[in-house]
Amino acid sequence: MATDVTMPQLGESVTEGTITKWLKKPGDPVAKYEPICEVATDKVNAEVPATISGTMKEIIAEEGQTVEVGQLICRIEEEGAAATEAPAEEKAPKAEEEVKTEAPAKKDQGEPSMKRRYSPAVLRLAQEHNIDLEKIEGTGAGGRITRKDVLRVIESGQVDTVKAEQAKKEETPQQAPAAEAARTATAPVSAPAVSDGKPTTGITLEEGDQEVPVTAVRKTIAQRMVQSKHEAPHAWTMVEADVTGLVQLRNKLKDEFKKREGVSLTFLPFFIKAVVDSLKEFPYLNAVWGGDKIILKKRINISIAVATDDALYVPVIKDADEKSILGLAKEIHRLVEKTRAGKLSLEDLQGGTFTVNNTGSFGSIASMPIINHPQAAIISMEAIVKKPVIFNDMIAVRDRVNLCLSLDHRILDGLMAGRFLQAVKQRLEAYGPDTQI
């Protein structure tokens, strides 16, 4: 007898996962707790262990398929079950018949009650893109259409197809026969464009072009970025800070710090410290949009962007306001090392309330980062560069850095955002070569 294996709950708020790779194929022996497949969620990558020892009987969910928590992904035949079950093959057709008769009833129960229950986000997206929701297959409970279903249609470029079908429905009865005749006549020509069932991008490939499959991580990043841009109206502002004193301080301490603490003293902990202290002063920057309310977060958990060769991860420094420069430096080092080793846990990625982006490490001098949804804002610390400026009524060479802020305009306006940036700037400019850290 085969045992069903379902998608496990991989986190408190995780509702689905994408099968990125099967580690077993039908017929392979499987030991209990042995990983059978790799799964990517919007928060973390994980392995799904076998629940029993036996033989992989059947794989239900294919690689690349997104599966809801609790949904069947494969079946494992328990050790010794095949020999004992073999004579009872006659039972199989009966069970199959039962499934066939029960399936339509289950569908009928779910679809009428749930499919046409649309959330405000789904309705808004459908209205903005003129999408007929009746044409979308829902993946939510009872066939309900989720926001992700609508975004999937938009990203796949199928919107035009949906619009075309809507336009066809609106044709007059007199026009319909002619349109049908024309469609029939042209069918052999137009059929190849959609015959493979794959989403069409409208991009014509030329000789030498390469198609690179989208990994699960890249797909998740794309979905989160589109979600943030769709839901949060972004605004952007920037100030320039004189960090000559900070540069002198860091250059004075970095060698001894590395020797004593075992980690490098970069500028990032100083940036985070200035941001955290300013968030206490302006709590609306440390908030999330709650639909009909704004939620000011008590904890200050700083998300930091850490890039690898093929992806971007955003681990979180928990309770960053309780840490010193030394504590922040060690926590940054720990999270960066775990990211590069591919060992980040779900806990490492959860709970961020504000994001500090260090694009200056790539040499960038200005950027417009996308907000880490559902946070209220994200700040980018750009490269520190030497510039000739007017200082004490004289031309002087100073170390300058641009501080760029993207903000959710539903929560924040330019006045508060500007004051926050000025507070960060003043804190960074307050450092000098003799400052105690």
Q: Which position among 310, 319, 409, 434 bears the catalytic label?
A: 409
Q: CB neighbours (10 Å) of residue 223? A: 15
Is 234 considered catalytic here? Answer: no
Residue type, 139: T
Is 409 considered catalytic here? Answer: yes
Give the burial class of 77: count Cβ atoms within 10 A of its Cβ; 0-12 exposed, 13-18 middle, 19 or more buried: buried
Q: Which two tokens stand for residue 250?
A: 């860091």
Q: Which two tokens stand for residue 120?
A: 């405000």
Q: Which position among 4, 160, 255, 413 bears the catalytic label?
A: 413
CA distance 349 to 333: 15
CA distance 280 to 411: 16
Q: What is the DSSP string of 125-181?
A: HHHHTT--GGGSPP-SGGGPPPHHHHHHHHHTT-HHHHHHHHHHHTS-TTHHHHHHH
CA distance 74 to 22: 10
CA distance 274 to 429: 10
Q: What distance lies between CA 245 and its chain's CA centroid?
A: 38
- Enumerate the active-site residues: 409, 413
